[in-house]
Structure 1
Amino acid sequence: MIRFMLRLTIPAAALLACGPAGAQDIDPDILTAQAGTFLVAPEDGRAGCRLTLETDLAIGGYSLSGQDSCSKPLPALAEAASWNFDGNGGLIMMDPTRRVIARFVENEGSPMKTEDKTPLLLVSAPDGIDRLPTFSSLAGTWVMQRPEGEKLCSMTFEGTANADGNAPLSPSGDCTANVARLKLAIWRIDGFGLTLMSHDGSSVGFRMRADGNFDKSREEGGKPLSLIRRDPH
């Protein structure tokens, strides 16, 4: 299953002793693993901005850059001056007075996100993408095919998810046997990951690319596979 997202693989207990006040005590390897450029964007699909988490010391934690890109889509984050681990497996961003302006909570198996009414996600994103995909933005007809163009199946994604975070999909009658036997019936979004599933446990995961289409996750193994939108918005 695709996991194209920011995830902390550090046990929370390892960070309890190195919260915001103990920044200098954090293992350099942990710090380096967490650093990088990420998209911060609302879960509802509105535009976000890119911030780079750096490893240099700053007031309250570590430096970050890219705040200017947040001034229009997410003005509160334009005030961010530093970031740090929160001691519980999550991550915080602070203004120059050390006031926490965003707290991203560890979310097992999914991107870290805030606990606001409309959460912000902190996630690795393809270059050129400034917002998260949503069920409504991905609804429509897609073609599953090999990179060289061999068509394996077309399917329609419904745009409304149920309480479990899954939405129906309807494969066409022209699917090849190896796709048809998967009995794909529902789909879900996980950051920039897209997973197609059956009701009995079969699944195949994809990750979004810069043009808005999807390639099968490398973690899935097997032959390369793509999902190409047939009816682009």
Structure 2
Amino acid sequence: MIRFVVRLAAAAAALLACGLARGQEIDADILKAQAGTYLFAPQDGRAGCRMTLETGTAIGGYSLSGQESCTKPLPALAESYAWNFDGNGGLILIDAMRKVIARFVENEGSPMKTEDEIPLLLISAPESVDRLPTFRSLAGTWTMQRPGGENLCSVTLDGTVDTDGHAPLSLSRDCAANVAGLKLAVWNIEGFGLTLMSHDGSSLSFDMRPDGNFDKSSEEGGKPLSLVRH
């Protein structure tokens, strides 16, 4: 299951800041933890591209690959030559002249993203997915079911977002008692995570699968559960 990953804890971020300020090399474990293939995608749901942050050195930072995948969806990122830490727990992409192309800021508990009017997110993603889900793209009716196919409830997600960043949902009248008892009323998304919530603190969190459906987050515990689009 896919969840966004914030790989640098506060202590690690402080270490990075000290190391960068002194011109020292980054600790190998921190570098390895951040390296990997990520989706770089606009928050508004437009197509993004994948690049791999590597551990090899390059002028101005560390090597990366996959820039060619950005040529059409995000041409500015296609000019990326290297990546590096910014000393504040964030990450930068630079071109061959060491000019910063994009700066991704650390957000505790959330994916790194730029501070542009329409932010770009740096996020782990299912291999077949090239864009972030949005309230509009997920709006509609879904079936909550067990892996074997037992249907527990129909869930209709409304795409109208309120000032708190939530949107309403409704449950079918034939929901299983354990689902109905949660009194789920609103939902939100963050990265590839979908959360259904009540107004009194109950919630269910799901992670997007490569096929666009969702499985209950492993952090939830209990029996497996899926949300499958009608």
The residue identity in structure 1 corresponding to 2:17 is L
Shift of residue 19, structure 1, vs aligned partner: 3.0
Structure 1 stretch displaced more, 160-169 or 51-60: 160-169
The answer to whether the 8 A contact 1:187-1:197 is kept is yes
Please give the per-residue CA displacement for 1:160-213, whole angstroms capped at 9, x wherever unaligned: 211221110011111111111111111111101101111111111111111110
Look up the match of 1:102: 102
Structure 1 SS opposite 2:68: helix
Q: Percent identity?
A: 71
Please give the per-residue CA displacement for 1:80-130, whole angstroms capped at 9, x wherever unaligned: 011111111111110011111000011111111000011000010001100
The residue identity in structure 2 corresponding to 1:89 is G
Shift of residue 221, structure 1, vs aligned partner: 1.0
- Give yes or no for the alignment of 1:66 onto 2:66: yes
The residue identity in structure 2 corresponding to 1:152 is L
Structure 2 SS opposite 1:17: helix
Structure 2 SS opposite 1:152: strand
Please give the per-residue CA displacement for 1:45-72, whole angstroms capped at 9, x wherever unaligned: 0000001000001111100000000000
The answer to whether the 8 A contact 1:20-1:60 is kept is no
- Give yes or no for the alignment of 1:218 onto 2:218: yes
Look up the match of 1:49: 49
Look up the match of 1:26: 26
The answer to whether the 8 A contact 1:143-1:151 is kept is yes
Structure 1 SS opposite 2:219: helix
Look up the match of 1:134: 134
CA distance in 2, matches of 1:79, 1:21: 28
CA distance in 2, matches of 1:82, 1:203: 40
Structure 2 SS opposite 1:105: strand
The answer to whether the 8 A contact 2:53-2:83 is kept is yes
Look up the match of 1:8: 7
- Give yes or no for the alignment of 1:177 onto 2:182: no
The answer to whether the 8 A contact 1:19-1:84 is kept is no
- 1:35-46 equivalences in 2 (<5 Å): 35-46=35-46
The residue identity in structure 2 corresponding to 1:48 is G
The residue identity in structure 2 corresponding to 1:15 is L
The residue identity in structure 1 corresponding to 2:16 is L
Shift of residue 218, structure 1, vs aligned partner: 1.0
Q: Which runs of 5+ in 2 are unaligned?
A: none
Look up the match of 1:197: 197
Structure 1 SS opposite 2:69: helix
Structure 2 SS opposite 1:15: helix
Structure 1 stretch displaced more, 158-167 or 130-139: 158-167
Count of equivalent residues: 228
Task: Give the TM-score of the pair, scaled to structure 1.
Answer: 0.94
Structure 2 SS opposite 1:116: coil
The residue identity in structure 2 corresponding to 1:85 is F
